[in-house]
Amino acid sequence: MLRKIRIPLAVIFYVGVTLLFLDYTGAVHHWLGWMAKIQFLPAVSALNVLVIIGLVLLTFVFGRVYCSIICPLGITQDIIARLNPKKNRYTYSKAKNWLRYTVWGVFAVTIVLGIGSLTALLDPYGAFGRIASNLLQPVWMWLGNLLAGIAEHYGSYAFYSKEVWLKSLPTFIVAVVTLVAIAVLAWRNGRTYCNTICPVGTTLGFISRISLFKIRFDESKCKNCSMCTTNCKASCIDYKTHSVDHSRCVACGDCVAKCKFGALRYSFAPCSKKADAKVDESKRAFLTASAMVAATAMAQETKKVDGGLAPLLDRSVPERKTPITPPGSLSARNMARHCTGCQLCVSGCPNKVLRPSTDLTTMMQPVMSYEKGYCRPECTHCSEVCPTGAIRKIDAVEKSSLQIGRAVWVAANCVVLTDDVSCGNCARHCPTQAIEMVHANPNNEASPMVPSINENRCIGCGACENLCPARPFSAIYVEGYEEHHSY
């Protein structure tokens, strides 16, 4: 019965979460966005107390069903493992606690220190998101483009084409390496990643030791046939001693289904005194990690930003000294501490301005760049889909006055001065009218008209940078703010 319930639910969650990353229209999120928000680490990062309590209670009652039903990376491992034609291939192995707790400790430290790139690497939901958005979404989009071409041939516009482009080579490589590593481990040993590396699995393992419902042996019926052990993808059942390591068991029910003698059952298990002794230790470890996450998430610093007219800089466009983080992210610090690099905002950005960072300290977290578009003031898609609290939900009114950066003019690149032509493209398309055209020489009305930027009104949307006709370097670009603020 357990397996019959688990498989349909797992399929629903897996398909739903995958569609969130494949969809580039934003329609799916309206119906299934909650599936991303109930993932464990995003809920912790967002300090979503109700979801955290719900997942803890779910694990306390039913064991690690989160790993076998809700977690998309866990289900991916099951799919890959089932492709292996070899049956009865698993064996019991003792828990490698030294590795599990070392990885868990490193993970906790990365959260405390705000090292977002390492946190993102270890998060199972983020890992699946990078695989889906970097490897599956391009295929999905190519199929959509194929259908659009066929439909157009027959005079129909039911589908439309989308540009498929590589947003970040390092993130693409990370996604490929992650998929290969997960596939090899799952093919050979099933849930090895879940039970030796995944920090979420280790955290839930503290609680599942004392779960009310567990896989239990009826020793009087057991014939020591070893079918339970050879079919346990978590390698946590020792048929010789009739024991189950419940910290690693994902409550999949495969062992119960394979036992021909009814010696295994998934049932209510009252805690013994020995189990009670482990309760406090498990709860303390879990609550300590949660407290560290909560404390660091609320730590914020403030920074003043001067207003006024920006100086006209006579230099080439440099690398951005301060990366631009999406509206709603509050600050670069908040983004680094909360983002798990799942790429959900990147994969769904309709304006093509979000892409994964290539900086080592914030790798795979979203930053903004305006080569292919600009951040339209009316668009709030990224703030609506983010499940971790790294990008807080904002509305169009709030966004229209939210300053995430400032425009900087580089005279050496401006076509007005280099080609002796009139332009004003940046001023015409600025949505906040932060740019006005003034005479290059205020004392000479015959001098060419060049842009002057009012930093008090500039929101850093990048319309000026994106639409500037200067090539190969834009004559106007956006420099980010460490702390976002409203004018």
Q: What does the pLDDT look like over 330-342, one tens digit per residue?
A: 999 999 889 999 9
Q: Which tops the pLDDT comparison, 299 or 16?
A: 16
Q: What is the pLDDT of residue 318?
A: 54
pLDDT tens digits, 183-199: 999 999 999 999 999 99
What is the fold of 332-486?
Alpha-Beta Plaits (3.30.70)
Q: What is the pLDDT of residue 277?
A: 36
pLDDT mean over 282-290: 49
Q: What is the pLDDT of residue 472?
A: 83
pLDDT tens digits, 70-98: 999 999 999 999 999 888 889 999 999 99
Residue 272 has pLDDT above 80, yes or no: no
Q: Which tops the pLDDT comparison, 471 or 8?
A: 8
pLDDT mean over 293-298: 44
pLDDT mean over 265-291: 52
Residue 323 has pLDDT above 50, yes or no: yes
Residue 216 — pLDDT band, cuts 50, 70, 90?
Answer: very high
Residue 168 has pLDDT above 80, yes or no: yes
Task: Please state which of the ranges 23-32, 44-53, 253-262 shows the lowest mean pLDDT.
Answer: 23-32
Tell me which H or E stretch contains 367: strand 366-368
Residue 219 has pLDDT above 70, yes or no: yes
Among the residues of 262-372, which ranges form H helices? 273-298, 332-338, 344-348
Give the whole-angstrom CA distance, residue 431 versus residue 453. 13
> For residue 368, what is the DSSP state?
E
Q: What is the pLDDT of residue 269?
A: 58
pLDDT tens digits, 435-481: 999 999 999 988 999 999 999 999 999 999 999 998 888 999 999 99
pLDDT tens digits, 407-434: 999 998 999 999 999 999 999 999 999 9
- Domain limits, the chain: 2-273, 332-486
**Mean pLDDT in the chain?**
87
Long-range pairs for 382-386: beta carbons < 8 A, 24 or more residues apart: 382/326, 382/327, 382/328, 382/345, 382/348, 382/349, 382/354, 383/326, 383/327, 383/328, 384/29, 384/33, 385/20, 385/29, 385/33, 385/36, 385/344, 385/345, 385/348, 386/328, 386/344, 386/345
